[in-house]
Amino acid sequence: MRQIQEMGVNLKGIHFHCGSGQHGSSAFGRAVTLARECIRIGREYDHEMSLLDVGGGFPSGELNMKTIDALKVTQYDPLGYKTIAEPGRHFCGNSFYLLTRVLGKRLKNNKPCYHLNESLYHSFNCNVMDGVSFENSVDQFYSSINENGNECESFETVNSTLFGMTCDGVDIITKNISVPKDLKVSDWLCVSGMGAYTYGCRSNFNGMKST
C-alpha cells in the first residue's frame, strides 16, 4: 500500500473474484475478511478505499446461506464503503437451453449410444473447461423433440452414452445419462442449464460449427 502511494496512485477500492460457481464454500467469508483488512490498511496510507467489488463466483440458481451471511457483513459495515458485484453465471446459467440433434444411434453391449451434432469442443466444452459433468444425471434433459417439432411422447428413460460429433476419441459428453427411451436419429435433445460458459468458449474444431 505504501509503495502504491509513493507511486502517486490513489486506490479507489478493492476487488476479488472467488472462482466461478462457489457452492457454499468458505471462500466468500475469507475473501470479505481479507478485503476489509485491505480497506483498513489502505486508508492508513491515505488511499480512498471507498469501493468493495465482490466480483462474480455465485452459482446458478439459489445462493447458499454461507455466501449470503458472508456478504451481509458488508451491508452496514462501520468501515463504510460502497459494495458492488459482477455476477455472471448466476444470471445466465439457467436462462438458456441447448437444442442438439441426434445424428446417429447404435447399441454397444446393449446400451444405446447417441452421436449428437454438438461436442466437447463446442457447447459442451463446459465439461472440460468448467468442471460440469452430466454423468448419472437423471434430470439434465428437459425434453426431446422429434423432427416435426413435437415433444416426444415417452418420458420413460434409458441409460445411454452421448458422443460428440468430432470423431475424436475423447469426445464423449457422458457415458451414463438417462435419455428418453424413444429417442431416435433426427430427434432433438433439449439440455437445460446451458447459459453460462458454453457457447462463449466454443471452437470450430475439425471445421465444425456449434448448433
User: Which stretches of the chain bind ligand PLP, using CB under 6 A?
Assistant: 17, 20, 55-58, 86-90, 196
In the complex with ligand PLP, the residue whose CB is nearer, 18 or 165, is 18
C-alpha cell at 110: 446393449
CB of residue 4 vs ligand PLP: minimum separation in angstroms? 21
| Residue nearest ligand PLP by beta-carbon distance | 56
Buried/exposed 113-138: b ≥16 CB within 10 Å, e otherwise? bbbbbbbbbbbbbbbeebebebeeee
CB of residue 21 vs ligand PLP: minimum separation in angstroms? 6
- Whether 113 is a known active-site residue: answer no
Q: Do residues 162 and 133 lie in contact, with contact meaning Cβ atoms separated by under 8 Å?
A: no
C-alpha cell at 159: 441409460
CB of residue 78 vs ligand PLP: minimum separation in angstroms? 27
164: part of which helix (H) or strand (E)?
Answer: none
Q: Is 112 exposed, middle or buried (0-12, 13-18, 19+ CB in 10 A)?
A: middle
In the complex with ligand PLP, the residue whose CB is nearer, 83 or 176, is 83
Q: Which of 92, 152, 167, 201 is catalytic?
A: 167
In the complex with ligand PLP, the residue whose CB is nearer, 56 or 164, is 56
Q: Which residues are catalytic?
A: 167
